[in-house]
Structure 1
C-alpha cells in the first residue's frame, strides 16, 4: 500500500525542482506529501525508513522547502467532507481560540483562524471566511457539538455531529499542542506567528 502511495505522489512536473538529488523524485514527493498532511519530520523519516529509505530530518526539511520554492501547487481538496473544530491556545499568557477546518479525504488544512473568544459568533465568522475561500456547495461538515449545527445553519452550510470520522482534526490539534508544549506550554509570540 505504501508503494502505491509513493507512485501516486509522483508528478513529472516536479522533476525539474529536484534534479541532482540522490533520492528518487517519487520518494521525495511522497515524503513532502506526508509532511503536508500533518506528519512531523520525525514521523516522515520513520515512514521512509520502513520503506527502506534512510534520510535525515534535514533532508526532508530541504525537500519540503524546495517544493514550496518551486511554485508547484499543492494537491487540491475535493471538499466532500470537512472536519471543523476549535481548541484553546495560550499566547503570551492569554487564552485564544484556534479554529481549523480539514478536508478528511486529502487531509489538507483548509483554513485556520484565531479569535479572542469562544462561541457561535467566532465559529460563524470562521465558517463564513472558509465559504468565501472554497466551494463548499457539496461539502458536509463533521462537527462535535450541536452548537455547530446552529452555526452551520446560520451560514447556510450543511453538516452533522460525528465523533468517529473527524478524528483527523483531533489528531492535528493534539500534534499542535504537543509542539506548543515544547515551547513551555505557552506560545511566546504574536497571533500571526501562532497562525503561521
Structure 2
C-alpha cells in the first residue's frame, strides 16, 4: 500500500503517529523526543509541519442520522477576548457532529449552529437535549425537536472538559486568529471521533 500524499506531506505511519501523539496532549518537543527514542530523528520544524499539514487532511466525517443529540456552548478565550464554542454530540455513538466558534452566545448563534448542523446531517427524527431556553427558542425557529435535559447531555460537558484540559496544558488563552483556533478545534474533534 502506497502512502497518501496530502499537501506535500506524506501520510506515513510515523507521521500519523506523530500527529496522534500531539493530539493526545504531547507538545511538539515531547513528540520529537518520543520519536527520537524510537529512532526517528527530525527537526522541530518537520514535526510542526507534520502536525499542521497532515492533521489538516483529517478524516472523512462519519455519516450520521442521530436520534438524540446533546448541544451546548462554552466560553473560550482567543487573544484575551471571549468567544463561544458550540458543539453537538450524538448520544448513542458519542461522535462529535459539529463544532463552531461565535463571537457571542445566545439564540441567534444557537440557531445558526443548529441550521449548519441540519445541513450536514439528517436530523428529521432527532431530539436535541439542551440546558436552556435560548436553545429551545433556536430549535423552535428551525422546526426541530428538543428537550431540557441535565443528565444525558453531560456527554457534551465531558467533551468540553477534555478539550479545555488539552488546551490548558499549554495556554490559558489561545493566541492566533479565530480561523486557526477553529481549525485546531475541528482537528481535535476529528481526533476524538476517530
Determine if the TM-score, normalized by the shorter chain, exceeds 0.5. Answer: yes
Segments of 4+ moved more than 2 angstroms? 71-78
Counterpart contact for 1:78–1:105, Cα < 8 Å: no
Within a 5 Å distance, the mapping from 1:37-116 to structure 2 comes to 41=24, 73=60, 75-116=62-103
Counterpart contact for 1:85–1:99, Cα < 8 Å: yes
Q: CA RMSD in A?
A: 3.2
Matched, 1:174 2:161: yes
Deviations 1:116-136 (A, max 9, x none): 111111111111111112111
Structure 1: runs of 5+ lacking an equivalent: 1-15, 19-31, 43-56
**Structure-2 change in CA distance of 1:73 and 1:122 (3 Å):** closer
Aligned pairs, number: 146
> Shift of the alpha carbon at 1:192?
1.7
TM-score normalised by the chain length of structure 1: 0.63
User: Greater relative contact order: 1 or 2 (C-alpha under 8 angstroms, separation 6 or more)?
Assistant: 2
> Shift of the alpha carbon at 1:140?
0.6
CA–CA distance in structure 1, aligned partners of residues 119 and 59 of structure 2: 23
> Shift of the alpha carbon at 1:157?
0.5
2:159 aligned counterpart, secondary structure: helix
Structure 2: runs of 5+ lacking an equivalent: 4-16, 26-33, 39-49, 184-194
